């Protein structure tokens, strides 16, 4: 007995070690050759430069570059968007340059990456994106975009990651480390509190200090202090009345002094508003779009400001120092890799992310995975089955070398076994410039197309209806005005479901939509993202059961818009151009759980073809001190026929706190592979320091003593095991 117990303990310790490192496993961060940046060398170079040459480096000289100094061997600094793949080359007016050499791999969108809850995948995404950026001779990748999902309507929700600062931090740190292995700087954006597109260049975001520190900054902080990002992009908006590009508190105090940022602060395109203030308050490089480059705030006006003594040359030297420091990590790093683009390996990365991102929302009739001995014919319906999603979204568009559409993926996987026919069902038509009447008109159902779809659906064993948004409808530059499904899609779903009892709804989107009717009336619902070049293949593999879905929602779906905090409190989009973040800490599930509001789909939600039992949660101790790690071990049993990956989520609650706390907060997670019928033991570490709240009186993080509850969960609303611990 004693020996058995001892063996058990040894096994548990071993498993703990194995699983404790799960989340960070395979995170590739090392350059093949370590980069040595010589302070003396940089200073010597600066000494040789004229003031004009220095100023030349501080502002754009084309859409995506700033000048070097040729005579001193300093190259231009080349940047490029974007989060979904390296953007195509543009002309001076932003229209495509029309080259044949600038296609790239289209990777799944940000919220898709977040839905994988898999930092190792985010890291592979980063490496692949870095390789493509390097191969295109760019030094700065303007990604990842990591702003928090404050409102489900934000047009860039699909580009960003999630509503949770911890989840964002884990994923973006992994992505940044990956990008930078290639001698390419990640540029985290948009710093900070940039949570809407409506009047994004004017709106003033007003956020209390604790909320800033606990919700809006953690992913940025992690990006700099843990991810080591070499560049950061300021946001368009004002923060507490001051534009982010000249915000002393955000740039000089927090970013440089507190986080020790050594790299380059660049403005968003056209997001600079002054020469002297921006220079003094922390901006290094002004990027932009319009007006002659010599007229930029950081061009002639800054030169004049130095000459007139408003800005010291020493300050200019500091900025040039940051740029040269960055260059020694990127274009002036002789050991940088060569990069590669459009490779099969990159397609595999896109596929792996896509297949782990897809979320199974409902499967009540166990229609999925599709049984092809029963389902011999499929009606594939809906424009999103044939639509491509690489283009659009302004900054985040990619000229994809290829994109396997959803229909093509189904044909690739089922083609020879199943008879597949397509009907378009609806016609998407959206431009932000349309009048309200025209937008309303485009949202009306198309009776003729619906009739064709219904006729087709009647003749097939099952119907798959592809609906959702697209890259014009969800985009930078505007927020959505409603959660409602566009283009008459609801009517299409209803009509097809009425005639074919085996109707599967596949929703394509990057942000929450109103799925109330579908959740109530349909038995089979799958969430597909703007899921990259391999999206069709990944979806078909999920529908066929080759891949067991393991994606989990990275944001809460409200049952109605007014249930969401910013909308419930009428602080979106703004009052008098001020967005007052009155909900404070209660963003996303923090709001819904604390206020007891039932969401349509909770944060962290997602089904699988199997089901998992969580048992025997234990902690390695019951009481902890500052600086320690809490090890939470739980056994996950796979009760079904399908092996799969489960995301074990660990939320923490602080009963009787002396300060207001959200009902619970995500503090750790791990994605584990569990073989059908077997179980896996997972140990999840939580730093005691991560239980801290930000004390806005002392301006310090503080871990309260006393009891905490650790909630081991399958989603924010599905708590499976609870353990109490004490902090002494």
**Closer CB to ligand BGC, 267 or 275, in the complex:** 267
CA distances from 144 to 174, 219, 418, 567 (A): 11, 11, 40, 27
Is the distance from CB of 426 to CB of 113 less than 8 angstroms?
no
Q: Any contact of residue 269 with ligand BGC (CB under 6 A)?
A: yes
Q: What span, in angstroms and rounded, lies between the C-alpha atoms of 717 and 43?
A: 55
Could you give the angle at the alpha carbon of 595 between the alpha carbons of 632 and 699, nearest 5°? Answer: 65
Of 268, 272, 263, 161, residue with least CA distance to 218:
161
**Closer CB to ligand BGC, 476 or 665, in the complex:** 476
**Closer CB to ligand BGC, 138 or 645, in the complex:** 138
Continuous segment of H or E residues that includes residue 223: helix 218-225
User: Least distance to ligand BGC from the beta carbon of 271, Å?
Assistant: 8
CA distances from 163 to 101, 150, 586, 590 (A): 37, 7, 11, 9
Helix ranges (DSSP H) in 466-581 = 489-499, 516-521, 535-544, 565-568
Q: What span, in angstroms and rounded, lies between the C-alpha atoms of 170 and 48?
A: 42
Binding residues among 453-482 for ligand BGC as defined by CB under 6 A: 476
User: Least distance to ligand BGC from the beta carbon of 94, Å?
Assistant: 9
Distance of CA 553 to the CA centre of its chain: 12
Q: What span, in angstroms and rounded, lies between the C-alpha atoms of 144 and 179?
A: 10
Of how many residues is the chain composed?
728
Helix, strand, coil percentages in the chain from 3-state DSSP, rounded to 5: 30, 20, 45
Q: What span, in angstroms and rounded, lies between the C-alpha atoms of 197 and 193?
A: 12
Binding residues among 332-371 for ligand BGC as defined by CB under 6 A: none
Of 338, 340, 394, 326, residue with least CA distance to 66:
326
Q: How many residues bind ligand BGC (CB under 6 A)?
A: 7
User: Least distance to ligand BGC from the beta carbon of 240, Å?
Assistant: 20
Residues labelled catalytic: 268
User: Least distance to ligand BGC from the beta carbon of 656, Å?
Assistant: 43
Choice from 81, 286, 461, 663 touching ligand BGC (CB under 6 A):
81
User: Least distance to ligand BGC from the beta carbon of 67, Å?
Assistant: 18
User: Least distance to ligand BGC from the beta carbon of 269, Å?
Assistant: 4
**Closer CB to ligand BGC, 150 or 189, in the complex:** 189
Q: Cis peptide before 567, with omega less than 30 degrees from 0?
A: no
Choice from 142, 453, 496, 711 touching ligand BGC (CB under 6 A):
142
Binding residues among 51-80 for ligand BGC as defined by CB under 6 A: none
**Closer CB to ligand BGC, 289 or 459, in the complex:** 289
Is the distance from CB of 231 to CB of 605 less than 8 angstroms?
no
Binding residues among 366-395 for ligand BGC as defined by CB under 6 A: 395
Q: What span, in angstroms and rounded, lies between the C-alpha atoms of 530 and 358?
A: 10
Q: What span, in angstroms and rounded, lies between the C-alpha atoms of 539 and 549?
A: 10
User: Least distance to ligand BGC from the beta carbon of 283, Å?
Assistant: 15
Binding residues among 657-696 for ligand BGC as defined by CB under 6 A: none
Could you give the angle at the alpha carbon of 669 between the alpha carbons of 666 and 672, nearest 5°? Answer: 155
> Cβ-count burial of 401 within 10 angstroms (0-12 exposed, 13-18 middle, 19+ buried)?
middle
Q: What span, in angstroms and rounded, lies between the C-alpha atoms of 350 and 156?
A: 20
**Closer CB to ligand BGC, 95 or 596, in the complex:** 95
**Closer CB to ligand BGC, 22 or 230, in the complex:** 230
Axis crossing angle, helix 344-357 with helix 119-135, rounded to the nearest 10: 150
Structure tokens at 162: 């999630």
User: Least distance to ligand BGC from the beta carbon of 68, Å?
Assistant: 20
User: Least distance to ligand BGC from the beta carbon of 459, Å?
Assistant: 46
User: Least distance to ligand BGC from the beta carbon of 395, Å?
Assistant: 4
**Closer CB to ligand BGC, 189 or 567, in the complex:** 189
Choice from 189, 319, 590, 723 touching ligand BGC (CB under 6 A):
189
Q: What span, in angstroms and rounded, lies between the C-alpha atoms of 518 and 43?
A: 63
User: Least distance to ligand BGC from the beta carbon of 342, Å?
Assistant: 22
Is the distance from CB of 551 to CB of 116 less than 8 angstroms?
yes
**Closer CB to ligand BGC, 81 or 646, in the complex:** 81
Q: What span, in angstroms and rounded, lies between the C-alpha atoms of 135 and 120?
A: 23
Cβ-proximal residue to ligand BGC, closest one = 395
**Closer CB to ligand BGC, 393 or 606, in the complex:** 393
Residue owning tokens 């009892």 = 501
Q: Any contact of residue 268 with ligand BGC (CB under 6 A)?
A: yes
**Closer CB to ligand BGC, 392 or 536, in the complex:** 392
Is the distance from CB of 681 to CB of 673 less than 8 angstroms?
no
Binding residues among 283-312 for ligand BGC as defined by CB under 6 A: none
Of 169, 211, 115, 175, residue with least CA distance to 603:
115
Of 295, 374, 330, 400, residue with least CA distance to 55:
295
Q: What span, in angstroms and rounded, lies between the C-alpha atoms of 328 and 322?
A: 10
Residue owning tokens 């998407």 = 428
| Residues found near ligand BGC in the complex (CB under 6 A) | 81, 142, 189, 268-269, 395, 476
């Amino acid at each position: 007995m004693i020996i058995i117990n001892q063996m058990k303990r040894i096994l548990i310790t071993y498993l703990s070690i194995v699983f404790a490192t799960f989340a960070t496993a395979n995170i590739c961060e090392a350059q093949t050759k370590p980069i040595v940046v010589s302070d003396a060398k940089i200073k010597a170079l600066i000494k040789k430069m004229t003031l004009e040459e220095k100023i030349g480096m501080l502002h754009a000289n084309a859409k995506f570059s700033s000048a070097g100094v040729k005579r001193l061997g300093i190259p231009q600094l080349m940047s490029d968007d974007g989060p979904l793949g390296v953007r195509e080359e543009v002309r001076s007016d932003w229209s495509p340059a029309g080259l044949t050499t600038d296609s790239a791999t289209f990777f799944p969108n940000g919220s898709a990456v977040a839905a994988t809850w898999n930092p190792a995948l985010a890291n592979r995404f980063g490496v692949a994106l870095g390789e493509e950026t390097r191969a295109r001779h760019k030094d700065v990748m303007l990604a990842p975009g990591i702003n928090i999902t404050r409102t489900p309507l934000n047009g860039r929700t699909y580009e960003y990651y999630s509503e949770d600062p911890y989840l964002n931090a884990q994923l973006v740190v992994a992505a940044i480390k990956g990008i930078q292995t290639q001698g390419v700087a990640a540029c985290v954006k948009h710093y900070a509190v940039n949570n809407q597109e409506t009047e994004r260049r004017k709106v003033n975001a007003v956020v209390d200090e604790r909320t800033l520190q606990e919700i809006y900054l953690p992913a940025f902080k992690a990006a700099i202090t843990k991810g080591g990002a070499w560049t950061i992009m300021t946001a368009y908006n004002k923060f507490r009345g001051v534009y982010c590009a000249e915000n002393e508190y955000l740039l000089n105090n927090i970013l440089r002094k507190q986080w020790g940022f050594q790299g380059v602060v660049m403005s968003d395109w056209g997001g600079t508003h002054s020469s002297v203030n921006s220079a003094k308050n922390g901006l290094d490089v002004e990027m932009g779009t319009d007006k002659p480059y010599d007229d930029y705030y950081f061009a002639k006006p800054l030169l004049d400001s130095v000459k007139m003594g408003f800005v010291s040359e020493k300050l200019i030297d500091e900025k040039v120092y940051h740029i040269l420091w960055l260059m020694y990590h990127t274009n002036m790093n002789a050991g940088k890799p060569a990069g590669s683009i459009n490779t099969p390996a990159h397609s595999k990365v896109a596929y792996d992310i896509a297949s782990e991102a897809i979320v199974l929302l409902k499967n009540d009739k166990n229609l999925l995975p599709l049984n092809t001995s029963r389902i011999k014919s499929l009606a594939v319906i809906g424009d999103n089955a044939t639509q491509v999603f690489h283009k659009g979204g302004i900054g985040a568009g990619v000229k994809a070398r290829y994109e396997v559409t959803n229909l093509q993926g189904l044909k690739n996987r089922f083609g020879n076994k199943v008879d597949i026919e397509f009907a378009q069902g609806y016609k998407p038509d959206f431009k932000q410039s349309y009048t309200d009447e025209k937008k309303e008109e485009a949202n009306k159902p198309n009776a003729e197309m619906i009739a064709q779809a219904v006729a087709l659906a009647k003749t097939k064993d099952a119907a798959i209806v592809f609906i959702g948004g697209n890259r014009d409808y969800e985009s930078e530059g505007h927020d959505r005005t409603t959660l409602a499904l566009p283009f008459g899609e609801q009517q299409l779903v209803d009509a097809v479901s009425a005639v074919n009892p085996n109707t599967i709804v596949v929703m394509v989107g990057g942000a929450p939509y109103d799925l109330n009717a579908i959740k109530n009336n349909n038995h089979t619902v799958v969430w597909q993202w703007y899921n990259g070049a391999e999206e069709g293949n990944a979806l078909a593999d999920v529908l066929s059961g080759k891949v067991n879905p393991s994606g989990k929602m990275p944001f809460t779906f409200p049952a109605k818009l007014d249930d969401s905090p910013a909308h419930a409190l009428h602080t979106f989009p703004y009052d008098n151009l001020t967005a007052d973040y009155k909900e404070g800490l209660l963003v996303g599930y923090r709001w819904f759980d604390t206020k007891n509001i039932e969401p349509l789909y909770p944060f962290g939600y997602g089904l699988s073809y199997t089901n998992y039992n969580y048992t025997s949660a234990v902690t390695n101790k019951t009481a902890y001190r500052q600086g320690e790690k809490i090890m939470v071990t739980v056994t996950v049993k796979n009760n079904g026929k399908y092996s799969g990956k489960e995301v074990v989520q660990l939320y923490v609650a602080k009963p009787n706190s002396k300060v207001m706390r959200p009902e619970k907060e995500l503090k750790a997670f791990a994605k584990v592979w569990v073989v059908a019928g077997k179980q896996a033991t997972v140990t999840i570490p939580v730093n005691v320091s991560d239980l801290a709240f930000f004390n806005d009186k002392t301006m310090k993080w503080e871990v309260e003593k006393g009891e905490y509850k650790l909630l081991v969960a399958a989603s924010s609303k599905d708590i499976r095991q609870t353990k109490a611990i004490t902090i002494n």
